Structure 1
Amino acid sequence: MSSIGSQVRKATVSIDPIVTDYAVGYLNHLSSTTLDAVQSKSLDLPLEIDFITKLLINAGSSPDKVESLAKSILDQLSTQLKENQAKLELTGDTSKRLLDINILQSHNSKENINTTLNMLGVGGGADDIEHAGRKMETRVDLKKLAKAEQKIAKKVAKRNNKFVQYEASKLINQSNEEDYDSFFMKINPLEFGSAAGKSKDIKIDTFDLYVGDGQRILSDAQLTLSFGHRYGLVGQNGIGKSTLLRALSRRELNVPKHVSILHVEQELRGDETKALQSVLDADVWRKQLLSEETKINERLKEMDKLRAEFDENSLEVKKLDNEREDLDNHLIQISEKLADMESDKAEARAASILYGLGFSTEAQQKATNTFSGGWRMRLSLARALFCQPDLLLLDEPSNMLDVPSIAYLAEYLKTYPATVLTVSHDRAFLNEVATDIIYQHNERLDYYRGQDFDSFYTTKEERRKTAQREYENQMAYRKHLQEFIDKYRYNAAKSQEAQSRIKKLEKLPVLEPPEEEKTISFKFPDCEKLSPPIIQLQDVSFGYDPESLLLKDVNLDVQMDSRIALVGANGCGKTTLLKVMMEELRPTKGFVSRNGRLRIGYFTQHHVDSLDLTKSAVDWMSTAYPGKNDEEYRRHLGSFGITGSLGLQRMQLLSGGQKSRVAFAALCLNNPHILVLDEPSNHLDTSGLDALEDSLKNFSGGVLMVSHDISIIDSVCNEIWVSENGTCKKFPGTIYDYRDYILSSADASGVVKKH
């Protein structure tokens, strides 16, 4: 069978190689179908060969050559089938395979031949292959098909000298609703045998990437990921970073098959499974191996009983012995795999990861459907860390975590033994974790090897300035050459020199002007001064149940010049404290004193989520905060980077960062004296974070911020409040001192303790 590929290619030199590759793959798969399928006549071998024959002839091959080829291959397959049937009668081994009914389909009509040709890009039509009125699974190599279609798209675009939307095969874009286990095994098939010596570096040369609506986000890009490195993928909102991660996670890009992949993209669906068991179940390889080990052991016990019923020299005993030998060998392979993945230590490792991400010992035994969306997102992260794939893909992992959990995650990833690719705008997190930065912009990927985020930011600006100088120098040189050419081209005495300059001009490399950095700015409106006390908490305690207080004996104050960061583990009472300060909750003990003229601007993610996305920002603000004309609303939105037509288009078309800016603009309409901000940095890209930092530092009122972003806290705040152990106190140091305090609380197993 090893010569089938060469036989097919020799007989089909005149046709599209895509069709040839399809035919070779189809015929090679004939060698893996069960004998039972052939014997039960659910698969007709001559009919399958006839389908390939007609397919190749319809694609333009010589009928004589193809028919001769078909006869030769049918003879080979028939011979092999007879040999395997003979082995079956002797050994009783039903695992012997020749043809796979799930892989192949009968195609005998002209319509189905044309459908297949269209699918391969030779014609134009549907991608589905049908058999007897029902859709069957295709076994076309999707990665090869995708690559071929990318080449076609590129050729079309080049021929027309413009971008054309090329509709990729529906086969590639089809969405199958699969459960986690099925998807995991599809993306990461379990292979026995040693992978030693196989490089786990990833190098994908020259690919284009499109989003669903046909918009190209990468052109002629190259992706190189060295095993063991930790890459931060950065770029502006909407540039396509998450799309790139998704393409990698689904192997739509050519990642080596022996490299396992896991993507933390969305929160876990809740059910009755306990949190700890959910993390253990995430390692589908371990789960499958343990299940298979149990089944084999049960079968071995059953065989011992059966063996006693037969004569020692009977054919039945020989069959049982053959089966036992196969099962014993497979059991050894399973044991080796389980030992390699340290299966016996799995539960302790899962519990350690959960504890580090904020799950107490009690919480680990709760059903996953009892957790909120944010906590289920943490469960997804815990499952991925537990699986320890060769390529771990993280999309904004710090958005749902508090400072202690981010500290734990950063420390965990710094010793991660494989490759990490994370999308993040958290600069402190990237400075801690990243060994390299990949900058996605202008449909390409730029590499900053051996650099954390701060180094990247500095180097990027230096590169931009250098490119700007080179561009300006070349433009000046081009202008100088062109002026000489225009002046002396038709001058007999100078024409030779003019021709020389024309050649020089033609040989100059074409430089593109450097990409302009999009900058935005925020401006919180100035407010009048108030006399103290602005907000003062004296011996404040609060609890929904007097026997179980959430806050106890809190003594803090906020002034007009305050820059305060409120930090602590999720669930320790930070939001409750904010509500008590704003008099949404009344303390069970103590007093909250506030200036009677005080106006507070309160920002939470809830305010972003509550925007009416069917309206424009201007229309929504005029309804929610009436009293101004449209021009005044547009001018106010413009002070938060929502400029031009952005304020007039439906908000469902805005990015997450742009929606956050609309919410910031809304909270400032009453000219607040104090800004109370709950996770204000979520969804903002680098330029948005820079704008937020500058505006908060220049704000004339006070700032109280709950945030996990260490960089923005360090830049803006000069006072740290720590919520822990049922109270809230000032911390004697910076946010980095607090981070060190958190890490110093780690126990011997490396788990960050929750205070």
Structure 2
Amino acid sequence: MSTSIGSQVRQAATSVDSIVTDYAVGYFNNLSTITFDAVQSKTVDLSSEIDFVSSLLVDAGASKEKVDKLASDLLERLNVQLKENQAKLEITGDTSKRLLDINVLQTHNSKANINTSLNMLGVNNDIEHAGRNMDTRVDLKKLAKAEQKIAKKVAKRNNKFVKYEASKLIDEKREEDYDSFFLKINPLDFGSAAGKSKDIHIDTFDLYVGDGQRILSDAQLTLSFGRRYGLVGQNGIGKSTLLRALAGRELNVPKHISILHVEQELRGDDNTALQSVLDADVWRKQLLSEEAKINERLQEIEELRTEFEEESLEVKKLDNEREDLDKHLEQISEKLVDMESDKAEARAASILYGLGFSTDAQHKATKSFSGGWRMRLSLARALFCQPDLLLLDEPSNMLDVPSIAYLSEYLKTYPATVLVVSHDRAFLNETATDIIYQHNERLDYYRGQDFDTFYATKEERRKTAQREYDNQMAYRKHMQEFIDKYRYNAAKSQEAQSRIKKLEKLPILEPPEQEKSISFKFPDCEKLSPPIIQLQDVSFGYSEDDLLLKDVDLDLQMDSRIALVGANGCGKTTLLKVMMEQLRPLRGYVSRNPRLRIAYFTQHHVDSMDLNSSAVDWMSKRFPGKTDEEYRRHLGSFGITGSLGLQKMQLLSGGQKSRVAFAALCLNNPHVLILDEPSNHLDTNGIDALVDALKNFTGGVLMVSHDISVIDSVCNEIWVSENGTSRRFDGSIHDYKKYILESADNSGVVKRH
């Protein structure tokens, strides 16, 4: 070549970061080390190797025309040299089996080669590409930074946001501690944010996940500060992906707006629950630490001043340092006052208590709590931090009715913006001021509407759109029939041409989106004579001194529709096990019809499934005796249709796994359904189908649930577990919620500190 490959690359990519061009130069130069074996076995394709680096340069901002010309010239010369060296090999042999001469890539006066290029990058690991390994020493931090810049440039240029998949050199699963991640997303700024709007408006954008699947197209996101938005839509539509994109600032959220996302359960350690919540406010934690260090240094300065004369240079330096520290200490103090740091412990304790943590539990180590309680801790930490944008993903799934009631009341007075993904209608009716409906790769806004109003408005919009579509289709058909009939009629041809022009100008309407309807069906069962299940003066505990249930008198009939409610840990699961005779009471009697068959749905049903099997195979092993066609037909009655019943269950969504579990528990034709949190993971359509199926079931239903709308739709009797016993509650689920809120208000839990 007349010029070195380095010069050519840099001329074609003048606006690209040097870290990327150096990488490209090194990669192109390394093609000189390709061996005859690699080409002959087709593990290396010169064209694909060059295309790989060319696309990297274009994505980084290089001119496509210049890069294409560079790639074409380079490929042509490499192929010529390849043929020449193959001819030499046939005559003289070549023990190195090297087909490409390094002089093809650089002139004798060019010092750039693969080693020098990679040394500039600090490479010491292997880059894996096209099935071969190249010895490298890349600085992972530099490469990650370069690739992030590329991703941002591409996203900004195309207004497309992707869950970016970085180089194989970068371990994306590398753990990052909470404090570092918090400060990375929400950097502490001592500059004044006064006057800056905390509204969020992101103009038209596309959102993709890493595999190229588009979640949103030409979407707009508008969140007004202080509003509470419910984000709703079918399972798998991408709601959680949108939340994660906001949480990681992959979308352009202004930097002065703090963000916190409740997604994963807290990792357990020796810190107490209360201390864990206090530590969640990393700003406060860092400011207090910095305040302590400054005070310590100020004390050192006072001691050092005594060792020097008053007018000495050393004393002047110490005084200057003290003045700077005093100013910074004043800034820190102002920040701490603004965030009411002195009231932090009382506020953290109040939030924990409202979410079900007793005073004793607040002082237990976080590692002693189960996964469900650690999720509550994550929620408590987020509420305590009070970010400008609070992102919640199905928060009610981890809570009982009292805790949901507390959370609803808390969010009603939340001083910033809330975006919550939930299918709990009652929760959204209580908390949401606006609804955002995600569907068909877009976001529709229903401002000033709770869930029920949104649902009615959405249906009315759909009917209106359907009428407009039907009317236009009828009008188009009528005009087309006239055109087809009279287009070649001399007397009518002018009128036909006029209608053709009208038809071309008509706006093209898309048919309204039809939501997939889902239906569940529980099998009918034969009637049994009472008693079905009856508890008389039942007490249970693992010792007489520590009773979990005391003096319980309850009964369940074939027509019962009962909701069992109460705080977590108050004995609901114990009562269910006693009723199913998995536990024997210390005192009292449990009477059951000997022919009774019970189906028990647990919220941890996934643990009992073989996720590597299909739903049909799993059910045939667990409930043998039917044909595959019968199992598929039965699954179809719970919305698992077509190929869903034949693919591995690990590929199914959470809601689809729940439907498989519902289908399985009905194969023994139960007389009574005992359901533990049945609505978890189901979307709105799934919940509607479940409610209808339970209403039509001919047997008895006992349900443990936090979903007030499901309880209100299905159940006509409330059992309450509290204070070591279970009893019938005189009133509806709404009366019980009022009772809970009044009790909490009297204890001061709901009130802010």
TM-score range, shorter chain: 0.7 to 0.9
Taking the aligned partners of 1:152 and 1:173, their CA distance within structure 2 comes to 27
- Kindly indicate whether the alpha-carbon contact (under 8 Å) linking 2:521 and 2:638 is maintained by their aligned counterparts in 1: yes
Taking the aligned partners of 2:118 and 2:479, their CA distance within structure 1 comes to 57
Aligned to 1:231: 229
User: How far has the Cα of 1:644 moved from its partner?
Assistant: 1.1
User: How far has the Cα of 1:492 moved from its partner?
Assistant: 4.1
Taking the aligned partners of 2:178 and 2:329, their CA distance within structure 1 comes to 25
Aligned to 2:447: 449
Instruction: Name the CA shift for 1:17/1:749 in 2 (closer, same or farther; >3 Å).
Output: farther
Instruction: Name the CA shift for 1:150/1:223 in 2 (closer, same or farther; >3 Å).
Output: same
Aligned to 2:412: 414
Taking the aligned partners of 1:553 and 1:221, their CA distance within structure 2 comes to 58
Taking the aligned partners of 1:710 and 1:524, their CA distance within structure 2 comes to 22
Aligned to 1:660: 658
Aligned to 1:515: 513
Aligned to 2:126: none
Asked if residue 294 in structure 1 is aligned to residue 292 in structure 2, the reply is yes
Asked if residue 146 in structure 1 is aligned to residue 152 in structure 2, the reply is yes
Deviation track 1:579-615 (CA, whole Å, cap 9, x = no partner) reads 0000000000000000010000110023232211100
- Kindly indicate whether the alpha-carbon contact (under 8 Å) linking 1:566 and 1:574 is maintained by their aligned counterparts in 2: yes
Aligned to 2:78: none
- Kindly indicate whether the alpha-carbon contact (under 8 Å) linking 1:18 and 1:148 is maintained by their aligned counterparts in 2: no
Q: How does 1:171-570 map to 2 (within 5 A)?
A: 174-570=172-568
What SS class does the counterpart of residue 544 from structure 1 fall into? strand
- Kindly indicate whether the alpha-carbon contact (under 8 Å) linking 1:150 and 1:208 is maintained by their aligned counterparts in 2: no
User: How far has the Cα of 1:315 moved from its partner?
Assistant: 2.5
The runs of 5 or more residues in structure 1 that have no matched partner are 1-13, 24-53, 62-107, 118-124, 156-164
Aligned amino acid, residue 327 of structure 2: N
Aligned to 1:136: 141
What SS class does the counterpart of residue 550 from structure 1 fall into? strand
Taking the aligned partners of 2:218 and 2:211, their CA distance within structure 1 comes to 19
Aligned to 2:639: 641
Aligned amino acid, residue 247 of structure 2: S
User: How far has the Cα of 1:166 moved from its partner?
Assistant: 11
Deviation track 1:448-504 (CA, whole Å, cap 9, x = no partner) reads 000000000000000101111111111122222323333333444434333332322
Aligned to 2:574: 576
- Kindly indicate whether the alpha-carbon contact (under 8 Å) linking 1:149 and 1:168 is maintained by their aligned counterparts in 2: no
Taking the aligned partners of 1:512 and 1:58, their CA distance within structure 2 comes to 37
Aligned amino acid, residue 146 of structure 1: K
- Kindly indicate whether the alpha-carbon contact (under 8 Å) linking 2:15 and 2:62 is maintained by their aligned counterparts in 1: no
Deviation track 1:658-692 (CA, whole Å, cap 9, x = no partner) reads 10111111111110001000110100000000000
What SS class does the counterpart of residue 295 from structure 1 fall into? helix
Taking the aligned partners of 2:604 and 2:211, their CA distance within structure 1 comes to 29
Taking the aligned partners of 1:139 and 1:241, their CA distance within structure 2 comes to 28
What SS class does the counterpart of residue 746 from structure 1 fall into? helix
- Kindly indicate whether the alpha-carbon contact (under 8 Å) linking 1:567 and 1:723 is maintained by their aligned counterparts in 2: yes
User: How far has the Cα of 1:422 moved from its partner?
Assistant: 0.4
User: How far has the Cα of 1:154 moved from its partner?
Assistant: 7.2
Aligned amino acid, residue 530 of structure 2: P
User: How far has the Cα of 1:752 moved from its partner?
Assistant: 5.7
Taking the aligned partners of 1:705 and 1:58, their CA distance within structure 2 comes to 59
User: How far has the Cα of 1:15 moved from its partner?
Assistant: 8.9
Aligned amino acid, residue 620 of structure 1: W
Deviation track 1:605-647 (CA, whole Å, cap 9, x = no partner) reads 2323221110000000000111111111111111111111111
Aligned amino acid, residue 568 of structure 1: G
Deviation track 1:321-363 (CA, whole Å, cap 9, x = no partner) reads 2211211111010000000000000000000000000000000
The runs of 5 or more residues in structure 2 that have no matched partner are 1-10, 21-56, 65-110, 122-128
Aligned amino acid, residue 134 of structure 1: D
- Kindly indicate whether the alpha-carbon contact (under 8 Å) linking 1:552 and 1:726 is maintained by their aligned counterparts in 2: yes
Aligned amino acid, residue 484 of structure 1: F
What SS class does the counterpart of residue 136 from structure 1 fall into? helix
Taking the aligned partners of 2:461 and 2:417, their CA distance within structure 1 comes to 27
Taking the aligned partners of 2:451 and 2:136, their CA distance within structure 1 comes to 54
Taking the aligned partners of 2:560 and 2:481, their CA distance within structure 1 comes to 61
Instruction: Name the CA shift for 1:136/1:534 in 2 (closer, same or farther; >3 Å).
Output: closer
Q: How does 1:661-680 map to 2 (within 5 A)?
A: 661-680=659-678
Identity %: 80
Taking the aligned partners of 2:589 and 2:673, their CA distance within structure 1 comes to 21
What SS class does the counterpart of residue 524 from structure 1 fall into? coil
Aligned amino acid, residue 264 of structure 1: V
What SS class does the counterpart of residue 704 from structure 1 fall into? strand
What SS class does the counterpart of residue 253 from structure 1 fall into? coil
Instruction: Name the CA shift for 1:594/1:498 in 2 (closer, same or farther; >3 Å).
Output: same
Instruction: Name the CA shift for 1:554/1:143 in 2 (closer, same or farther; >3 Å).
Output: farther
User: How far has the Cα of 1:747 moved from its partner?
Assistant: 3.7
Instruction: Name the CA shift for 1:505/1:60 in 2 (closer, same or farther; >3 Å).
Output: closer
Taking the aligned partners of 1:166 and 1:723, their CA distance within structure 2 comes to 45
- Kindly indicate whether the alpha-carbon contact (under 8 Å) linking 2:409 and 2:750 is maintained by their aligned counterparts in 1: no
Instruction: Name the CA shift for 1:58/1:420 in 2 (closer, same or farther; >3 Å).
Output: closer
Taking the aligned partners of 2:569 and 2:16, their CA distance within structure 1 comes to 59
User: How far has the Cα of 1:168 moved from its partner?
Assistant: 5.9
- Kindly indicate whether the alpha-carbon contact (under 8 Å) linking 2:436 and 2:446 is maintained by their aligned counterparts in 1: yes
Quick check: 573-582 or 500-509, which moved more? 500-509
- Kindly indicate whether the alpha-carbon contact (under 8 Å) linking 2:534 and 2:591 is maintained by their aligned counterparts in 1: yes
Instruction: Name the CA shift for 1:506/1:18 in 2 (closer, same or farther; >3 Å).
Output: farther
- Kindly indicate whether the alpha-carbon contact (under 8 Å) linking 1:143 and 1:252 is maintained by their aligned counterparts in 2: no
Taking the aligned partners of 1:573 and 1:724, their CA distance within structure 2 comes to 8
What is the root-mean-square deviation in Å for CA atoms of aligned residues? 3.0
Taking the aligned partners of 1:392 and 1:496, their CA distance within structure 2 comes to 63
Aligned amino acid, residue 385 of structure 2: C
What SS class does the counterpart of residue 667 from structure 2 fall into? coil
Aligned amino acid, residue 716 of structure 1: V
Taking the aligned partners of 2:200 and 2:149, their CA distance within structure 1 comes to 15
Taking the aligned partners of 1:217 and 1:475, their CA distance within structure 2 comes to 30
Quick check: 487-496 or 14-23, which moved more? 14-23
Aligned amino acid, residue 566 of structure 2: G
What SS class does the counterpart of residue 542 from structure 2 fall into? coil
Deviation track 1:411-469 (CA, whole Å, cap 9, x = no partner) reads 00000000000000100000000000000000111000000000000000001011111
What SS class does the counterpart of residue 604 from structure 2 fall into? helix
- Kindly indicate whether the alpha-carbon contact (under 8 Å) linking 1:143 and 1:254 is maintained by their aligned counterparts in 2: no
- Kindly indicate whether the alpha-carbon contact (under 8 Å) linking 1:404 and 1:739 is maintained by their aligned counterparts in 2: yes
Aligned to 1:629: 627
Taking the aligned partners of 1:450 and 1:746, their CA distance within structure 2 comes to 28
Taking the aligned partners of 2:531 and 2:366, their CA distance within structure 1 comes to 45
Instruction: Name the CA shift for 1:326/1:495 in 2 (closer, same or farther; >3 Å).
Output: farther
What SS class does the counterpart of residue 693 from structure 1 fall into? helix
